[in-house]
A and B are shown apart, each in its own frame.
Chain A
Amino acid sequence: MSDAPTIKIALKNFKFFQERKPLLNGITLDVVANRILGVIGPAGSGKTTFLRSLNRLNDLMPDTHIEGQLLLDGEDIYHPGFNVVSLRKRVGMLFALPVALPMSIYENVVYGPRLSGIRKRERLDQIVEQSLKAAFLWDEVKDRLQMSGLRLSGGQQQRLCLARVLAMEELEVILLDEPCSGLDPISTAKIEEALTVLKQKYTIILVTNNTKQAARVADDTAFFLLGDLIECGKTEKIFTVPDDKRTNDYVTGRFG
């Protein structure tokens, strides 16, 4: 076992409650670094809650509490002393609906870096170019960086959002919440292509309602059902010989 996989994120019997209702019932799961973890499951299975626990965006909801542990590089991110702002710079998120902020393409991309205190124009220019290239958007917008981000098409906006996440220097993990649900096949293909490149540098967790997408891009796949993690394993295994009958029923389209 010379090159044992690095565990980037570890959940230890992690439970999440809102208004006393359990939304996640004791999840235990290791997320391996530099791989894409696909998360599948029917609506209401806790996929998004799981994802939003990882960058503590769930904190914005009223009356929530958690039990168990959620470790990022071995550090409990729900520990009272943990800095949530720095957590969110390390764990970026792409939402289901592309949300370009009502400012220029350039300002959208440098939103995170500016918050981190980067002021130098050359440095920001460099970040913008790198991030847009990594999100496969540079060629389409390089001549109109000062144009409002709102004027891009849906698919372009989602890649702008990806670039905005990638622009954060502290970034280690990318969370994607059904990032292609409103996109055309070509934009979807571009996002998927970007992800397979990005996993060399980052750990990626992809929640998707499209099981085929998980089969296409995920290295590992986790199947959630009603707030429980049913099983998690190599994608080929989950899609061919899963251990649990419910997983098999879901991936073969018999329910969900």
Chain B
Amino acid sequence: MRVSPKFTQALAVLLLGSATLLTLAVLFFVIAFVLVKGLPGVTWDFLTTAPKEMGKEGGIFPTLVGTILLPLLAIGIAVPLGVGTAIYLTEYTRENRMTRALRFGTDCLAGIPSIIFGLFGFIFFVVMLKMGWCLLSGALTLAIMVLPTIIRTSEEAIRSVPNAYREVSFSLGATRWETVIKVILPNALPGIVTGMVLGVGRSIGETAAVIFTAGSSLRMPLTVFDSVRTMSVHFYILAREGISNEKAYATASVLIISVLLINLVAYTMMHRFISKRAK
């Protein structure tokens, strides 16, 4: 029996359409659920005052600071390493066993659960190097965690720079390094920045690796050797210990809005990247 093309077409539209609708509905429901329960608790005072009684009362100011500092520091460490590696892999070596092994290694690293990185960071930075639970231990651990993403996105961005640009640059008497600085990096920059933003997003949402390495102190961090608590960790503790559901949802709302904002930035950058290349 032959099914009429008209019927299969209608069926496809129905199935694909409902899959899309369902996905959107789930996403919308999760975000709306958290925001509805949390937004009433988000006030100016909530954002700018310190928590009291383990977060049962008061605001989230120190965790807000921690949420900004920790990912920034992590990205600050990961970007030079990651972009450097990506440049080396794409521009300074030809495909060989070593580059393939390195690439395989970074891909594996990307698939490892974050708690493993947390455990490593705890044993290596916190205990072995005696750094204790602190901003720096956390940032180093997160840096290792987001490194694969940074390397991969940077590699893609660098690879997408047309080869003709390299040939022109070399033919005008540029060295490899001058070519990287003057032609390759400016053209790969939007893609690299997108990878950075993705890395920041991952660091902001991370809890397991952060608790193990940066600790969960509610005090205001003054140096990189102070322990910090991020909003994700704060939310996790508030909810798990049953300290305050109301404060937990309010924290989650702030977190969701921050992540939305970061993705918005990433999206605009990607968009600008594409339209610039099409010009």
A93: chain B residues at CB < 8 Å are 171
Chain A proximity of B278: nearest CB distance (Å): 10
B172: chain A residues at CB < 8 Å are 88-89, 92, 111-112, 115, 164-165, 168
The yes or no answer to B97 lying at the interface (CB within 8 A) is no
Contact A88 to B164, CB < 8 A, known contacts A111-B182, A150-B279: no
- The interface centre, meaning the residue of B167, B169, B170, B186 with most chain A CB atoms within 10 A of its CB, is B170
The yes or no answer to B25 lying at the interface (CB within 8 A) is no
- In the bound complex, what is the Cα–Cα distance between A116 and B164 (angstroms)? 21
The yes or no answer to A131 lying at the interface (CB within 8 A) is no
Interface residues on B, range: 20 to 34
B166: chain A residues at CB < 8 Å are 60
Contact A60 to B170, CB < 8 A, known contacts A101-B183, A102-B187, A111-B182: yes
Chain A proximity of B145: nearest CB distance (Å): 34
The yes or no answer to A148 lying at the interface (CB within 8 A) is yes
- The interface centre, meaning the residue of B162, B173, B174 with most chain A CB atoms within 10 A of its CB, is B173
Q: How many A-B residue pairs have CB under 8 A?
A: 59
A168: chain B residues at CB < 8 Å are 172-173
Interface contact B178-A88, CB-CB below 8 Å? no
* CB nearest to A165 among chain B residues: B172
Q: Which of B202-247 contact A (CB under 8 A)?
A: none
The yes or no answer to A57 lying at the interface (CB within 8 A) is yes
Our pick among B167, B168, B178, B279 for the contact of A115 (Cβ within 8 Å) is B178
Contact A112 to B173, CB < 8 A, known contacts A101-B183, A150-B279: yes
Give how many A residues have a beta carbon under 8 Å from the other chain's beta carbons: 28
A103: chain B residues at CB < 8 Å are 186
The yes or no answer to B165 lying at the interface (CB within 8 A) is yes
Interface contact B167-A57, CB-CB below 8 Å? yes
Chain A proximity of B171: nearest CB distance (Å): 4
Interface contact B279-A148, CB-CB below 8 Å? yes
Interface contact B173-A88, CB-CB below 8 Å? yes
* CB nearest to B178 among chain A residues: A115
Interface contact A116-B168, CB-CB below 8 Å? no
The yes or no answer to A201 lying at the interface (CB within 8 A) is no
Chain A proximity of B275: nearest CB distance (Å): 13
Interface contact A89-B173, CB-CB below 8 Å? yes
Contact with B along A13-44 (1 / 0, CB 8 A): 00000000000000000000000000000000
A57: chain B residues at CB < 8 Å are 167, 170-171
Q: Which of A206-228 contact B (CB under 8 A)?
A: none
Contact A115 to B164, CB < 8 A, known contacts A62-B94, A148-B279: no
Chain A proximity of B124: nearest CB distance (Å): 39
- In the bound complex, what is the Cα–Cα distance between A147 and B171 (angstroms)? 23
The yes or no answer to A252 lying at the interface (CB within 8 A) is no
Interface contact A101-B165, CB-CB below 8 Å? yes
- In the bound complex, what is the Cα–Cα distance between A89 and B175 (angstroms)? 11
The 9 closest A-B pairs by CB, nearest first: A89-B173, A88-B173, A93-B171, A112-B172, A99-B164, A99-B168, A85-B173, A62-B94, A111-B172
27 CB contacts below 8 A, A to B, read A55-B171, A57-B167, A57-B170, A60-B166, A85-B173, A85-B174, A85-B175, A88-B170, A88-B172, A88-B173, A89-B173, A92-B172, A93-B171, A95-B164, A95-B167, A99-B168, A101-B169, A102-B165, A111-B172, A111-B182, A112-B172, A151-B279, A161-B168, A164-B172, A165-B172, A168-B172, A170-B173
